[in-house]
Amino acid sequence: MGDFKAPNLSKEVHIWRCPISFALNLPRGEEIPPARMSSEKRRQEFRAGRRLVHFLLSLYLGPKRASEIKIISSPRGKPYLSSPELHFSLSHSRGRVALALSSLGPVGLDIEKIRPVRIEQLAQRVFTPGELRAMEALPMTGRHREDYFFWRWTCKEARVKLSGEGLSQSSLSSNKSVVVSYYEMGFYLSLAYDAEDPVERVRWLNIEKGPTDFSSRP
């Protein structure tokens, strides 16, 4: 990756994604897992995410500036960078990790692997009546309901990560955000950003292949 260059971030939000195994081979960053993280799988996800953050900060800002920036947490646990130059959101699911970067304002990102879960029970807890009706109208055969569930779930989680609040309808209804979603290889990714941010384009980038551009306009 010697000649790997980051695309221009001006008025854009960039989402980078790759396998966790790939991210673990990136240069080390600030990556000591919290003591409460006893699961080795969670610790590996934590390390992969921190290495991806460190690598991309170096790419966008240069190694010296990147080394000066720390990841800190709000009182509610939302991670953010110690410098206002960039905003980020990190997510991982079933062997993949994704990172959103913006210079315009806070972002929220969620990635989920589509998989068998008790979608009816989960949907009853977090979906609006309209979302429940839309899901129940879909065929029970095939993967229609699973696709809808994980699409809506990632949209909600992305808005939660943007706001830093809990997953409640009251907090989401007051969240004036734009949500953009992308489907890839059995995964849904959703990005949320403030509707007042002057975002002109969202770019979905694969770090394994360089900045291959699958652009989506809000």
Q: Which residues pair with 92 in a beta bridge?
A: 97
Residue 178 has phi, psi (to 5 degrees) of: -100, 135
d(CA 146, CA 136): 11
Q: What's the confidence (pLDDT) of residue 170?
A: 43
Joined together, the tokens standing for residue 194 give 């403030």
Rg (CA), the chain: 17
Q: What's the confidence (pLDDT) of residue 215?
A: 57
Q: What's the confidence (pLDDT) of residue 132?
A: 96
Joined together, the tokens standing for residue 151 give 């699409």
CB 111 within 8 A of CB 96: yes
Closest residue by Cα to residue 61 from 46, 83, 89, 90: 83
Q: What's the confidence (pLDDT) of residue 102?
A: 97
What pLDDT, in 10s, does the model give residues 156-187?
999 999 988 765 544 555 568 999 999 999 99
Q: Which residues pair with 73 in a beta bridge?
A: 79
The burial of 129, by beta-carbon neighbours within 10 Å (0-12 exposed, 13-18 middle, 19 or more buried), is given as exposed
Which domains are assigned to the chain? Answer: 12-208 (3.90.470.20)
Closest residue by Cα to residue 82 from 57, 60, 59: 57
d(CA 190, CA 136): 22
pLDDT by residue for the chain (218 residues), tens digit each? 545 678 889 999 999 999 999 999 998 876 676 767 778 888 899 999 999 999 999 999 999 999 999 999 888 888 999 998 999 999 999 999 999 999 999 999 999 999 989 999 999 999 999 999 999 999 988 899 999 999 999 999 999 999 887 655 445 555 689 999 999 999 999 999 999 999 999 999 988 876 555 555 55
Calculate ∠ Cα 116-118-122, nearest 5°.
125
89 residue type, one letter: S
Closest residue by Cα to residue 182 from 53, 10, 17: 17
CB 161 within 8 A of CB 155: no
